[in-house]
């Protein structure tokens, strides 16, 4: 009888320990789940704040080419280059002319003797592309930027406020150089957003790497012909 009581006591004790262990494991699992949920919530909140902060800077919202943004530095757009000498034998364009082929995302500076320098560029996005013939009427180093009233109103409708004027410099979206196309509001200019080169991203202007626009700037004279082809 005593042995049976002892066995019964041991069985009850074993069940008690097992129950306590299971309860402890459940409590630990619940804590881990709560911690994981808290971490996910914090991550979502941080991501939301980051996205909100991105659009506090109108230039990130206007000039970035993807959801990912890069920090603008003095050297942005100076690394590497997108230019090469190519065969170009089209008698319609004189040496010293600029030919922009929008579908190719390419600008050609005609050097003559059947050659041209080909630069990779960014062009106007859908609804802002254009075609025509003109001349370079002005050149500026580290140009200032005065956004057109239409751009200011368009971005204001999206909740983005842009300045009416911005001094030239490394943080200016026009980059290191600008060539002004006569009879239009458009320019061939540098950019601090190297990722936008090769895309349809602008409001009609032609974008180049800063290194490339400096190279073109030194070759082009005021009065040089510009041909934009769709």
Q: From the candidates 61, 133, 189, 227, which is the catalytic residue?
A: 189
Q: Is the pLDDT of residue 68 over 90?
A: no
Q: Is 55 a known active-site residue? A: no
pLDDT in tens, 70-125: 444 444 555 556 899 999 999 999 999 999 999 999 999 999 999 999 999 999 99
How far CA 187 is from CA of 25, 177, 190, 198, in Å, comes to 68, 10, 10, 17
- What is the pTM for the complete model shown? 0.69
Q: What is the pLDDT of residue 173?
A: 92
How far CA 192 is from CA of 79, 151, 165, 176, in Å, comes to 11, 19, 18, 9
Q: From the candidates 61, 82, 133, 205, which is the catalytic residue?
A: 205
**Under 8 Å CB-to-CB from 213, ≥6 apart: which residues?**
175, 176, 177, 178, 179, 188, 189, 190
Mean pLDDT of the chain: 79
Phi, psi for 192 (deg, rounded to 5): -90, -5
Q: Which of 190, 72, 99, 94 is nearest to 142 (CA)?
A: 190
The C-alpha torsion from 186 through 188 and 194 to 195, rounded to 10°, is 50
Q: Is 61 a known active-site residue? A: no
pLDDT in tens, 166-178: 999 998 999 999 9
pLDDT in tens, 210-224: 999 999 999 999 999
Q: What is the pLDDT of residue 60?
A: 53
pLDDT tier, 192 (very low <50, low <70, confident <90, very high otherwise): confident
Q: What is the pLDDT of residue 160?
A: 93
């Amino acid at each position: 009888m005593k042995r049976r009581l002892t066995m019964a006591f041991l069985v009850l004790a074993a069940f008690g320990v097992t129950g306590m262990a299971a309860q402890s494991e459940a409590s630990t699992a619940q804590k881990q789940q709560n911690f994981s949920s808290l971490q996910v919530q914090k991550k979502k909140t941080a991501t939301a704040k980051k996205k909100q902060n991105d659009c506090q800077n109108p230039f990130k919202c206007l000039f970035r080419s993807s959801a990912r943004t890069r920090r603008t530095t003095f050297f942005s757009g100076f690394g590497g280059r997108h230019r090469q000498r190519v065969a170009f034998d089209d008698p319609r364009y004189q040496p010293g002319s600029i030919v922009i082929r929008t579908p190719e995302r390419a600008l050609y500076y005609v050097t003559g003797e059947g050659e041209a320098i080909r630069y990779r560029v960014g062009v106007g996005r859908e609804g802002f592309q254009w075609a025509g013939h003109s001349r370079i009427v002005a050149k500026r180093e580290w140009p200032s930027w005065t956004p057109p009233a239409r751009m200011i109103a368009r971005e204001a409708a999206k909740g983005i406020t842009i300045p009416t004027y911005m001094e030239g410099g490394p943080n200016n979206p026009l980059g290191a150089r600008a060539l002004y196309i006569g009879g239009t509001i458009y320019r061939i200019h540098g950019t601090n957003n190297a990722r936008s080169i090769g895309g349809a991203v602008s409001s009609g202007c032609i974008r180049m790497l800063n290194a490339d626009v400096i190279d073109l700037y030194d070759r082009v004279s005021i009065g040089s012909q510009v041909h934009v082809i769709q």
